[in-house]
Amino acid sequence: MTTSLRAPLSDTTGYPASFAERYRQAGYWTDETFQQFLGARAAEFEDAVAVVGPDATGGETSLTYRQLTDRAGRLAAGLLESGIHPGDRVVVQLPNIVEYVEVVFALFRLGALPVFALPAHREHEVSYFCSFTDAAAYIVTDRHAGFDYRALARQVVSSSEKPPTVIVAGDAQEFVALDDLRGSAPITVEAPVDAESVAFLQLSGGTTGVSKLIPRTHADYLYSVRESARICGVDEHTRMLVVLPAAHNFPMSSPGILGVLHAGGRVVLAPDPSPDTAFALIEREGITMASLVPPLALAWLAAAARTERDLSSLEVLQVGGAKFSAEAAKRVRPELGCTVQQVFGMAEGLVNYTRLDDPESILVSTQGRPISPDDEVLVVDDHDVPVAAGASGHLLTRGPYTIRGYYRAPEHNSTAFTEDGFYRTGDIVRLTDDGYLVVEGRAKDQINRGGEKVAAEEVENHLLAHPRVADVAVVSMPDPYLGERTCAFVVVLGEQPTQGELKKFVRGRGLAEYKVPDKVMFVEHFPVTGVGKISKSELRRALEKTLATP
Ligand code: OOB
């Protein structure tokens, strides 16, 4: 086998030896890896259907466990032949199509590391993921939701010093076609991977200029997948509808696609997130479970009242990614006829679930409790001192599937983690007497736009590049549908640009659409705090007052 031209991933994962030993002893970390995962599942579940969904040709494909494993094995052989090697990073940006599952498992089989981009990302984000991870390849679909990813790939290649090989599912034009890579036989020269090595890189919602990358290991992630499947009652009868972007941590592993495949159930990929499409699939496939962000859950509740579809197979509706109000959560059982499960998680690790047999009061008014008895959860004040029982404070966490540091970010890690290795989640929570978490707010400089996370600093940096922007502060503003939207307060230099010009400017810099400010407010100067920093809380208050005035 030829060796890769790309440097190996040099970072260690940062778990101290004593903790790693404890997690192994407790049986959380095992030798299981994603490299063998699918093969082992195929041996057990054989001809059961693993995944059904749209494919890159615009048709629909259904694959059994055996077929999916065979396809992933053959694609792994082709990827190797095309110059992708074990240890290489590969940026994957695919919508909810069956090729997504095939590609991810082909990369695992090969021992290459997926870097999970979202379909909404654009040139700015993708170029950064490719260059920062020194990616050997970038895998996209031809077109999706009216957007041509080959045009994006051209931009990424032309701005890159070490362009990745572009591989396209569907019509590849000048790029490598995924269809041409499936070899005639599955890969045979597998270099076995270590269960405690990094399996892939996830993206953080982020609070800084660029998303931080999250290195998850086979052992830590598989532990969370197995336990999530158990807690959520996933088994071979589960039919999971995947509505959210498949590469997000929630539909990927909480218990998501991986949890369902672990248990021998069926993953059904929804081509779009509309209730009409989802309800038709629930009826046709006998869907038992789905995971949504709050705005989509509200859309389902609204649509349920007038649908003629039979939704009676639905047993569990998971809602997470942003706070789901108790008022909305209460409506799920009477209006959709299923159990609501709140999920409060983060790509960095910690995931909390309400348990399916919890009393209704817990289901609707808490965000659940941690997966593991060894998830350490601290609620502290601004000086890292634990608050009184039941009081709210900053959530810090450490545990068997929570990272100890972001990928190649030593400076950021020194503030994002405590000296003892606790991750500072940036969330404000309180703990109930029974150990459930209630999310009360957020201390991090981030806007949660219906589950999509926007780092204020990233948008601010782009606005500051405009010649007539002297200073800027991006804050959240309340929104009845998304929970929050973004508002940019701008101090101008000279003639005032229009809101539209500034939005267009940000868009033109290749930023994902969900990061473009929803509103721009022009101000003379910013309110400041005692130490002279811009007071974002005061800006938010001023904004709420403006919005409340008719
Ligand atoms: C999930 O992961 P991320 O990495 O996109 O975002 C994590 C952040 C949390 O720190 C918190 O601020 C917010 O999203 N969040 C919630 C929440 N779930 C996530 N805030 C309030 N209530 C909730 N239920 O969003 C994620 C990852 C795995 C499973 C579920 C969600």
**pLDDT tens for each residue of 34-79:** 999 999 999 999 999 999 999 999 999 999 999 999 999 999 999 9
CA 480 – ligand 1 centroid, Å: 19
Q: Is the CB of 253 under 6 A from ligand 1?
A: no
CA 249 – ligand 1 centroid, Å: 9
Q: Is the CB of 344 under 6 A from ligand 1?
A: yes
Pocket test for ligand 1, best of 346, 366, 392, 453 (most atoms within 8 A of CB): 346
Instruction: Outline where DSSP puts E strands in 422-461.
Output: 423-431, 437-442, 446-449, 452-455
What six digits make up the tokens of 98? 């069956």
Q: Is the CB of 320 under 6 A from ligand 1?
A: yes
**What is the mean predicted confidence (pLDDT) over 296-311?**
97
One-letter identity of residue 403: I
What residue spans of 465-533 are helical by DSSP H? 499-508
For position 547, what pLDDT does the model report? 86
Place of tokens 């240890």: 87
CA 199 – ligand 1 centroid, Å: 21
Pocket test for ligand 1, best of 248, 344, 397, 476 (most atoms within 8 A of CB): 344
How far apart, in whole angstroms, are the C-alpha atoms of residue 539 and residue 242?
Answer: 38
Q: Is the CB of 343 under 6 A from ligand 1?
A: yes
Task: Locate the ligand 1 atom nearest the alpha carbon of residue 367 and give its number.
Answer: 24
Minimal-distance CA residue to ligand 1 atom 22: 323
Q: Is the CB of 375 under 6 A from ligand 1?
A: no
Contacts of 505 (CB under 8 A, 6+ apart): 462, 463, 465, 466, 497
Which residues of the chain form CATH 2.30.38.10? Answer: 374-442
Q: Is the CB of 94 under 6 A from ligand 1?
A: no
- Output the 3-class SS for 376-387: EEEEECCCCCEC
What six digits make up the tokens of 360? 């209704």
pLDDT band of residue 4 (cuts 50, 70, 90) is: low
Beta carbons of 314 and 336 less than 8 angstroms apart: yes
Q: Is the CB of 453 under 6 A from ligand 1?
A: yes
305 phi/psi in degrees, rounded to 5: -65, -30
Instruction: Outline where DSSP puts E strands in 22-83.
Output: 49-54, 60-64
**What is the mean predicted confidence (pLDDT) over 491-495?**
95
CATH 3.40.50.10140 applies to domain 34-193: no
Q: Is the CB of 314 under 6 A from ligand 1?
A: no
- Residue 20: which H helix or E strand, with range? helix 17-25
Minimal-distance CA residue to ligand 1 atom 2: 346
324 phi/psi in degrees, rounded to 5: -100, 120
Local structure of residue 222 (DSSP, 8 states)? H
Which residues of the chain form CATH 3.30.300.30? Answer: 446-548
Task: Locate the ligand 1 atom nearest the alpha carbon of residue 319 and give its number.
Answer: 24
**What is the mean predicted confidence (pLDDT) over 406-412?**
94
% pLDDT > 70, the chain = 98
Terminal alpha carbon distance of the chain: 69
Distances in Å between the Cα of 238 and the Cα atoms of 81, 101, 172 are 37, 18, 35
The 10s digit of each residue's pLDDT in 235-252 is 999 999 999 999 999 999
CA 95 – ligand 1 centroid, Å: 21
CA 353 – ligand 1 centroid, Å: 11
Report the predicted TM-score, pTM, of the whole model to 2 decimal places: 0.97
pLDDT exceeds 60 at position 1? no
For position 10, what pLDDT does the model report? 59
CA 345 – ligand 1 centroid, Å: 4
Minimal-distance CA residue to ligand 1 atom 7: 346
Distances in Å between the Cα of 382 and the Cα atoms of 112, 276, 366, 386, 393 are 41, 46, 23, 9, 8
pLDDT exceeds 60 at position 101? yes
- Among candidates 89, 96, 50, 90, which has minimal Cα distance to 70? 50
pLDDT exceeds 60 at position 3? no
Task: Locate the ligand 1 atom nearest the alpha carbon of residue 452 and give its number.
Answer: 5
- Classify 86 as helix, strand or coil: coil
- Among candidates 187, 188, 212, which has minimal Cα distance to 202? 212
pLDDT exceeds 80 at position 353? yes
Q: Is the CB of 251 under 6 A from ligand 1?
A: no
- Classify 462 as helix, strand or coil: helix
- Output the 3-class SS for 247-282: CCHHHHHCCHHHHHHHHCCEEEECCCCCHHHHHHHH
The CATH code of domain 446-548 reads 3.30.300.30
The C-alpha angle 437, 212, 458, rounded to 5 degrees, equals: 95
- Residue 349: which H helix or E strand, with range? strand 349-353
For position 187, what pLDDT does the model report? 94
For position 11, what pLDDT does the model report? 58
**What is the mean predicted confidence (pLDDT) over 144-163?**
97
One-letter identity of residue 181: L
Q: Is the CB of 85 under 6 A from ligand 1?
A: no
Q: Is the CB of 222 under 6 A from ligand 1?
A: no
Strand order in the sheet with 519-522: 469-479, 483-492, 519-522
pLDDT exceeds 80 at position 493? yes
CA 382 – ligand 1 centroid, Å: 21
- Residue 133: which H helix or E strand, with range? helix 123-133
Task: Locate the ligand 1 atom nearest the alpha carbon of residue 347 and give its number.
Answer: 4
Minimal-distance CA residue to ligand 1 atom 8: 346
Minimal-distance CA residue to ligand 1 atom 19: 321
Q: Is the CB of 323 under 6 A from ligand 1?
A: yes
What six digits make up the tokens of 380? 């502290």
Query: Average model confidence (pLDDT) for the chain?
Result: 96
CATH class of the domain whose range is 374-442: mainly beta
Strand order in the sheet with 339-346: 60-64, 49-54, 266-269, 239-242, 289-292, 316-320, 339-346, 349-353, 369-370
pLDDT band of residue 391 (cuts 50, 70, 90) is: very high
CA 159 – ligand 1 centroid, Å: 33
CA 235 – ligand 1 centroid, Å: 25
Which residues of the chain form CATH 3.40.50.980? Answer: 34-193
CA 309 – ligand 1 centroid, Å: 30
**What is the mean predicted confidence (pLDDT) over 118-142?**
97
CA 378 – ligand 1 centroid, Å: 17
CA 105 – ligand 1 centroid, Å: 25
Q: Is the CB of 347 under 6 A from ligand 1?
A: yes
Number of neighbouring beta carbons within 10 Å of residue 180: 11
For position 210, what pLDDT does the model report? 86
Cis peptide leading into residue 255 (ω within 30°): yes
pLDDT exceeds 80 at position 430? yes
pLDDT exceeds 90 at position 208? no
How far apart, in whole angstroms, are the C-alpha atoms of residue 160 and residue 162?
Answer: 5
- Among candidates 516, 519, 511, which has minimal Cα distance to 487? 519
Question: Burial of 507 by CB count in 10 Å (0-12 exposed, 13-18 middle, 19+ buried)?
Answer: middle
CA 368 – ligand 1 centroid, Å: 12
pLDDT exceeds 80 at position 189? no
How far apart, in whole angstroms, are the C-alpha atoms of residue 294 and residue 29?
Answer: 32
